[in-house]
């Protein structure tokens, strides 16, 4: 008996150690990026970096507003497209779909989440870019098709499988008795889903959306291939943009020999890391407020 207790305690402490080790990886990553960013921060103020559009590395100007706005706009637009579609698909799969259809579709959704991002990028060039070019001509705003709309559509398609998978799992965990109680009171199937199941599963659905947002913020190759990569704040859906991950991917390898440029690029990585961290902390706060009944 004593030996089993010792084994239990050893296993618990081992698992805790590995968990803490994984979590602790974020700290040296953030610290190293910040330390590498110090040279450019000594040359320019944080406000000048965050709120200026002047990006001229050889002149010592590293305004990142255009890249930050590129990241924000393409991610925000992608989430606006992906969240409604994903939630409706998750509700159908969890509540309405026949078992045979569900068994056929779920492996395909998992397959979509595992496809390399470069494949999505090629698909975007072949399908989405010509469609965006045609659409821009119909609206009288000519575009090459390599624009904000193309990047957002490709990103939305990439994010959807993650949100659908997590949201469906959350909806499936809602006790069946809650559904039966609602139906027995005369509610329709949709009223039961809308007023009972979704309310019960809301914290988990928010977590699914935040997971998709985190994936969207850090996505690089697919978006880089279709968004145009022009360092200017987009004023319409058909304007090109330049998100922070694309800035890093396009320039870092070539500019390591220029210390200040290298520091500015790592600063962009640090900004991206902080953005994702803030999004996740905000989501955690929302979930806690929901669980306490404050929202």
On the question of pLDDT at 22 being above 80, the answer is: no
Per the listing, tokens 């520091």 go with 263
Pairing between β-strand 55-56 and β-strand 61-62 as defined by DSSP bridges: antiparallel
State which of 25-34, 150-159, 252-261, 274-283 shows the largest mean pLDDT. 150-159
Taking Cα atoms as reference points, which of 51, 25, 23 lies closest to residue 271?
Answer: 51
Per the listing, tokens 């905000």 go with 282
Q: What pLDDT does residue 159 have?
A: 92
Per the listing, tokens 């929901």 go with 290
Q: SS3 of 56, please?
A: strand
- Domain ranges for the chain: 26-291
Instruction: Please tell me what DSSP assigns to residue 228.
Output: B
Domain covering 26-291: architecture: Orthogonal Bundle (1.10)
How far apart (Å, rounded) are the C-alpha atoms in residues 76 and 62? 24
Confidence bin at 257 (pLDDT 50/70/90): low
How far apart (Å, rounded) are the C-alpha atoms in residues 61 and 58? 8
Q: What pLDDT does residue 90 have?
A: 92
| 152-172 mean pLDDT | 91
Q: What pLDDT does residue 126 have?
A: 93
How far apart (Å, rounded) are the C-alpha atoms in residues 262 and 133? 35
Conformational region of residue 199, where left means phi above 0, alpha means psi within -120 to 50, and beta covers everything else: alpha
Q: What pLDDT does residue 291 have?
A: 65
| 78-83 mean pLDDT | 94
How far apart (Å, rounded) are the C-alpha atoms in residues 109 and 159? 11
How far apart (Å, rounded) are the C-alpha atoms in residues 118 and 261? 27
Q: How far apart, in Å, are the Cα atoms of 129 and each of 72, 75, 149, 172, 231?
A: 20, 18, 9, 37, 19
On the question of pLDDT at 254 being above 80, the answer is: no
On the question of pLDDT at 10 being above 90, the answer is: no
The chain-wide mean pLDDT, for the chain, equals 85
Confidence bin at 283 (pLDDT 50/70/90): confident
| 21-42 mean pLDDT | 83
Q: How many helices (H) and strands (E) does the chain have?
A: 14, 2
Q: SS3 of 176, please?
A: helix
On the question of pLDDT at 87 being above 90, the answer is: yes
Q: Classify residue 224 as exposed, middle or buried by CB count within 10 Å of its CB (0-12, 13-18, 19+).
A: buried
How far apart (Å, rounded) are the C-alpha atoms in residues 287 and 88? 21
% of residues, the chain, pLDDT over 90:
22
Q: What pLDDT does residue 11 have?
A: 81
Q: How many CB atoms lie within 10 A of CB 128?
A: 23
Least confident of 100-109, 144-153, 251-260: 251-260
On the question of pLDDT at 15 being above 60, the answer is: yes
Q: Which H helix or E strand runs over 55?
A: strand 55-56
% of residues, the chain, pLDDT over 70:
95
Q: SS3 of 179, please?
A: helix
On the question of pLDDT at 229 being above 90, the answer is: no
Q: What angle do CA 159, 161, 162 make, to 5 degrees?
A: 70
7 versus 271: the higher-pLDDT residue is 271
Digit-coded pLDDT (tens) for 180-217? 888 888 888 888 888 888 888 888 888 888 888 888 88
| 119-139 mean pLDDT | 91
On the question of pLDDT at 13 being above 70, the answer is: yes
Confidence bin at 256 (pLDDT 50/70/90): low
Q: What pLDDT does residue 144 have?
A: 87
Q: What pLDDT does residue 293 have?
A: 61
């Amino acid at each position: 008996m004593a030996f089993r207790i010792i084994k239990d305690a050893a296993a618990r402490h081992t698992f805790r150690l590995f968990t803490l080790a994984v979590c602790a990886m974020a700290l040296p990553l953030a610290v190293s990026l910040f330390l590498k960013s110090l040279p450019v921060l000594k040359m320019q103020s944080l406000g000048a970096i965050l709120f200026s559009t002047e990006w001229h590395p050889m002149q010592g100007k590293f305004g990142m507003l255009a890249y930050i706005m590129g990241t924000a706009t393409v991610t925000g637009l992608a989430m606006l497209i992906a969240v409604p579609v994903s939630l409706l698909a998750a509700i159908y799969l969890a509540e309405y779909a026949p078992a045979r259809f569900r068994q056929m579709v779920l492996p395909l959704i998992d397959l979509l989440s595992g496809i390399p991002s470069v494949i999505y990028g090629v698909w975007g060039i072949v399908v989405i870019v010509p469609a965006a070019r045609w659409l821009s001509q119909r609206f009288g705003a000519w575009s090459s098709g390599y624009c904000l709309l193309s990047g957002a559509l490709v990103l939305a398609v990439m994010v959807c499988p993650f949100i659908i998978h997590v949201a469906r799992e959350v909806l499936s965990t809602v006790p069946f008795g809650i559904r039966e109680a609602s139906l027995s009171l005369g509610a329709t199937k949709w009223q039961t889903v809308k007023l009972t199941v979704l309310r019960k599963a809301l914290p988990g659905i928010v977590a699914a959306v935040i997971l998709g947002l985190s994936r969207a913020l850090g996505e690089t190759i697919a978006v880089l291939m279709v968004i145009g990569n022009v360092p200017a704040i987009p004023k319409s859906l058909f304007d090109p943009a330049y998100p922070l991950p694309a800035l890093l991917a396009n320039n870092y390898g070539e500019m390591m020999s220029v210390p200040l440029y290298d520091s500015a690029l790592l600063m962009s990585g640090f900004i991206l890391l902080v953005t994702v961290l803030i999004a996740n902390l905000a989501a955690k706060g929302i979930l806690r407020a929901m669980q306490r009944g404050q929202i």
